[in-house]
Amino acid sequence: MLPTVILPGYLESAIAYLTLEKFLQQQGFPTVTVPLRRRDWLPTVGGRSMIPILRQLDRVVKEMLAKYGTSQINLIGHSAGGWISRIYLGEKPYVIHGDVMEDANLWFAHPYIASLTTLGTPHTSLERWTRKNLDFVNHGYPGAFYANVRYVCVAGKSVFGQRRRGSWLAYSSYKLTCGVGNTWGDGITPINAAHLEGANNLIIEGVKHSPRSPGIWYGSPVVAPEWVQYLL
């Protein structure tokens, strides 16, 4: 079983993934979550650079490679952590915000990544404050871009977006993400935005977006085996 790294979702802290981390360890995967705190995301708010997150991700990945004497790991990205991970895999310098030089060495990590699993990741967006980052990702690395990486994209099907009480948040979020509000998703990310062409695309019934959501989410032990089986 390869060592595994979890990258939290936007504005989320590592502690929210403790149950998933322990579950993966019980399945035989040495697992650690990038130790982010909510305040670590503040410099990225408003569509700004993800370099602060990439720095922490890169440090943890390098530590796991060294600790276990392996050449590759599994990488799991929840929500925005999924598309940030795609920046990390890619060889194109992520210098679009002008905050690092091309030799920053915080990308071109695909040789170290055996599998990338994204959980409820909005791989597309119409939000103006995320377009700059996501356009960089999707223009540079469309779909399951690297043949040497196993891509697994997991979508949840639990909330149908509608303009009525109880599903208005889902409707608004889906519409901002894919342009259509009346569709299925996990309450935040619509199914069609959570998948990538060429990936192992999964849909799990009843799954909510966040580890803090009531009910089950992607990392709940009752549903996690459906995607954990694809880890290397």
Q: In the chain, what are the domain boundaries?
A: 4-156+185-228
Q: How far apart are CA 72 and CA 92, in angstroms?
A: 20
How confident is the model over 127-149, as a mean pLDDT?
95
Residue 92's pLDDT band (cuts 50, 70, 90): very high
Separation of first and last alpha carbons in the chain: 6
Residue 165's pLDDT band (cuts 50, 70, 90): confident
How confident is the model over 18-28, as a mean pLDDT?
97
Instruction: Return the pLDDT at 179.
Output: 95
Specify the pTM. Answer: 0.97
DSSP conformational letter for 47: T
Which class is domain 4-156+185-228?
alpha beta
pLDDT digits (tens, 9 = 90+) for 56-85: 999 999 999 999 999 999 999 999 999 999
Q: What share of the chain in percent tops pLDDT 70?
A: 100
> Taking 90 as the threshold, does the pLDDT of residue 129 lie above it?
no
Cβ–Cβ under 8 Å, residues 116 and 151? yes
Angle, vertex CA 151, rays to CA 172 and CA 194, nearest 5: 10
Higher local confidence (pLDDT), 119 or 163: 119
> Taking 90 as the threshold, does the pLDDT of residue 205 lie above it?
yes
Residue 107's pLDDT band (cuts 50, 70, 90): very high
DSSP conformational letter for 174: H
Instruction: Return the pLDDT at 56.
Output: 98
Residue 128's pLDDT band (cuts 50, 70, 90): confident
How confident is the model over 211-217, as a mean pLDDT?
93
Going by their DSSP bridges, the two strands 150-157 and 200-205 should be labelled as parallel
Cβ–Cβ under 8 Å, residues 210 and 180? no
Q: How far apart are CA 23 and CA 224, in angstroms?
A: 9
Cβ–Cβ under 8 Å, residues 84 and 128? no
> Taking 80 as the threshold, does the pLDDT of residue 143 lie above it?
yes
Instruction: Return the pLDDT at 139.
Output: 97
Residue 34's pLDDT band (cuts 50, 70, 90): very high
Reduced to 3 states (helix: H, G, I; strand: E, B; else coil), residue 74 is strand
Instruction: Return the pLDDT at 140.
Output: 97
How confident is the model over 158-178, as a mean pLDDT?
92
Cβ–Cβ under 8 Å, residues 88 and 140? no
Half-sphere exposure of 98 (CA within 13 A, CB side): 0
Angle, vertex CA 187, rays to CA 201 and CA 184, nearest 5: 55
